[in-house]
Amino acid sequence: MLGNRVLDMSEREARELCRDVTSYIVQAQGRAGLPQYWLRVLESTGGLHGNLIFPGSAVIAGRFSRSTFGQYCSRDGLQEIGPTHKDWREVMS
């Protein structure tokens, strides 16, 4: 989740950051041979911030956390969503 520090940005800056993070993730998915799917939810309560949901791996998560963008993650940061009966692989089909 992109949060806390993003809330202090102007809307324009927050939108640019969300766009740049999404681009980073899509490129990382491509390099990892993963499907390039993502869902971005922008929330405006208390200031603009974003949540991204995407198929990833532990390698992608680690690299993201160490990247420039990792500093913008909220306290919860990257969270793994485990397999369910509505797994993302089924959503793509």
Domain ranges of the chain: 4-68
Question: What are the structure tokens assigned to 31, written together?
Answer: 């390099």
pLDDT per residue rounded down to tens, the chain (93 residues): 566 677 788 888 888 888 898 899 999 999 999 989 888 887 777 777 777 888 888 888 888 888 888 887 766 666 776 666 666 555 554
Predicted confidence at residue 24, as pLDDT, reads: 92
Predicted confidence at residue 2, as pLDDT, reads: 65
Q: What's this model's pTM, rounded to 2 decimal places? A: 0.72
Neighbours of 53 (CB within 10 A): 14
Predicted confidence at residue 89, as pLDDT, reads: 59
Q: Please give the C-alpha separations between residue 8 and each of 4, 5, 27, 58, 69, in angstroms, as whole numbers.
A: 8, 6, 27, 29, 15
Cβ–Cβ < 8 Å for 80, 45:
no
